[in-house]
Structure 1
Amino acid sequence: MILQTRNVVTEDDAFLFELYATTRKHEFSMLALDEQQLQALLYMQFEAQKRSYQNKFPQAKHEIIYHEGLPIGRVMTEIKGRNIHLIDISLLPNHRGKGYGTKILKQLQSNAATQRGSVTLHVLQENPARHLYERCGFYVTEEIAPYIAMRFESFNEEVERR
């Protein structure tokens, strides 16, 4: 499985909105909205998230994930010192559960290992991706409802002290 990434450009906004909508549409499904109202609400939320990420993570690296030449998701990270903070990783529904997310996580972990660093992230407590993170060696460091902070260390501090 070969995945490529490239930096996000302005022309990616339509794809990024489509991707965002696939990850959030279920949250608004209980509201009595017609499709046009739902799309307007999702777009407003998408724009709010984009502004929030730009303000909170101004140095973030924002990339589109490609498989076989087609965009399948995005990954957003910020490096501070020897830590890689995973801000967001999202895949289109028909590309979830195929190992692509694991591959991206393992690449981040490998990059952290070359710096003897770590990878951190926050995930909603009930997000099924939490199990993926745990399988990949992340552990809970803090619960900040409704989120959980998680960390992967590329080295073992006990071994380092010997």
Structure 2
Amino acid sequence: MPDIRLRHAEASDLPFLRQLYGILRAQELAQTGWPNDLRQAFLDSQFALQHRHFVAMYAAADFYLVQCGDEPIGRFYLLRERPYFLVVDIALLPSWRGRSIGTDLLAWAQRLVEQDHDAAGIDLHVDERNVAAQRLYARLGFHVSTHASPYIAMRWSCESTTQLNTA
């Protein structure tokens, strides 16, 4: 099992976070036919906008860098508001997917909710095209709460899990 850990992201992590964003959008942008320099400029501007939005809208969130040893491999942004915590974002480098890291991060967040008597569950949003993530969330007990294309809102409720486990 790799040494996966979280640490709070710092300004010095922005180059990695920008790179991660670009990697996650690469396939989508490859279809544009744009030259590389235009693609990179677009990615840089979109990352900057997203980062400013996350920091402004979710200022109280924990912005974690996911690491394997000292190597950054992803990000996990979690807002611990009550009654429902919010997974603002979860993203791993493609080479690190399929290793149960996402499962472990979400299970950890679920345990945090279960330990917080004022918390009722976790909300998150997933792109409707990301079927693999939807399957993961469903396997962990998340259910679709709303669907407003292109995103699906999903919720995990602590009470329903407790009822299921005690029945």
Q: TM-score, normalised by structure 1?
A: 0.92
Contact 2:141 2:161 in 1 (8 A): no
1:153 and 2:154 are equivalent in the alignment? no
* Distance apart, 1:156 and its partner CA: 2.5
Q: 1:46 — aligned with what? A: 47
What SS does the corresponding residue of 2:159 show, helix, strand or coil? Answer: coil
Alignment of 1:65-104 (within 5 A): 65-104=66-105
Q: Percent of pairs identical after alignment? A: 31
Following the alignment from structure 2 to structure 1, what is the Cα–Cα distance between the partners of residues 144 and 4?
Answer: 28
Which range moved further: 110-119 or 39-48? Answer: 110-119
2:137 match = 133
Q: Does the 8 A contact of 2:8 with 2:64 survive in 1?
A: yes
- Is the Cα–Cα contact under 8 Å of residues 77 and 87 in structure 2 kept in the other structure? yes
CA shift digits 1:9-68 (9 cap, x unpaired)? 110011001111111111211112111111111111101111111222121110101113
Contact 2:7 2:65 in 1 (8 A): yes
- Separation of aligned partners in 1, 2:68 and 2:141: 25
Q: Give, in whole Å, the separation in 2 of the partners of 1:113 and 1:94.
A: 31
Structure 2: distance between partners of 1:105 and 1:151? 12
Structure-2 residue corresponding to 1:10: 11
Does residue 121 of the first structure (1) align with residue 124 of the second (2)?
Answer: yes
Q: Which runs of 5+ in 1 are unaligned?
A: none
How far 1:157 moved relative to its partner? 8.8
TM-score, structure 2 normalization: 0.89
Paired with 2:115 and 2:107, the residues of 1 have a C-alpha distance of: 12
What is the one-letter code of the residue matched to 1:102?
T
Regions of 4+ moved over 3 Å: none
The alignment's C-alpha RMSD in Å is 1.6
Q: Match for 2:133: what amino acid?
A: A
Whole-angstrom distance in 2 between the partners of 1:23 and 1:14: 14
Alignment size in residue pairs: 159
Amino acid in structure 2 at the alignment position of 1:141: S
Deviations 1:56-108 (A, max 9, x none): 21211101011132111110011112421000000011101111111101101
In the alignment, the residues of structure 2 paired with residue 71 and residue 158 of structure 1 have an alpha-carbon distance, to the nearest angstrom, of 34
